[in-house]
Amino acid sequence: MSKLPFKVIAVDMDGTFMRDNQTFDHKRFDRILDQIHENKAHFIVSSGRPYSRLRKDFTGFLDRIDMIADNGSLLIQDDNIISTHLLTHKTTMELLEFIQIHYPESSVIVTGINSSYTTMDASPAFKQTMNFYYPDRVEVPDLMTAVSPHDQITKLTLSYQHDFSEELEREFNTHHAEKIHCTSSGFGLLDIVPYSVNKGNALKYFLRYFDAKPSELIAFGDGMNDKEMLELAGYSYAMENAEPALRKVAKYIAPSNNDDGVLQVLDKYLNN
Q: What is the CATH number of the domain that holds 218?
A: 3.40.50.1000
Residues 102, 79: one domain?
no
Residues 60, 103: one domain?
no
Residues 185, 203: one domain?
no
- Is 1 part of any domain? no
Residues 267, 212: one domain?
yes
- Is 207 part of any domain? yes
Full 3-state SS string of the chain: CCCCCCCEEEECCECCCECCCCCCCHHHHHHHHHHHHHCCCEEEEECCCCHHHHHHHCCCCCCCCEEEEHHHCEEEECCEEEEECCECHHHHHHHHHHHHHHCCCCCEEEEECCCEEEECCCCHHHHHHHHHHCCCCEEECCHHHHCCCCCCEEEEEEECCCCCHHHHHHHHHHHCCCCEEEEECCCCEEEEEECCCCHHHHHHHHHHHCCCCHHHEEEEECCHHHHHHHHHCCEEEEECCCCHHHHHHCCEEECCHHHCHHHHHHHHHHHC
Residues 177, 262: one domain?
no
Residues 107, 181: one domain?
yes
- Is 3 part of any domain? no
Residues 48, 103: one domain?
no
Residues 77, 145: one domain?
no
- Count of domains forming the chain: 2
Residues 93, 180: one domain?
yes
- Is 53 part of any domain? yes
Residues 226, 173: one domain?
no
Any idea which of 1-10, 24-33, 236-245 has the lowest mean pLDDT?
1-10
Residues 36, 72: one domain?
yes
CATH no. for residue 176?
3.30.1240.10
Of 194, 219, 236, which residue is a domain's last? 194
Residues 138, 208: one domain?
no
pLDDT tens column, 207-239: 999 999 999 999 999 999 999 999 999 999 999
Chain-wide mean pLDDT for the chain? 95
pLDDT tens column, 47-94: 999 999 999 999 999 999 999 999 999 999 989 999 999 999 999 999
For residues 137-148, average pLDDT:
96
- Is 103 part of any domain? yes
Of 153, 173, 194, which residue is a domain's last? 194
- Is 178 part of any domain? yes
Of 159, 175, 194, which residue is a domain's last? 194
Q: Which domain holds residue 201?
A: 8-84+197-271
Provide the β-strand partners of residue 191. 157, 183
pLDDT tens column, 88-136: 999 999 999 999 999 999 999 999 998 899 999 999 999 999 999 998 8
- Is 2 part of any domain? no
- Is 165 part of any domain? yes
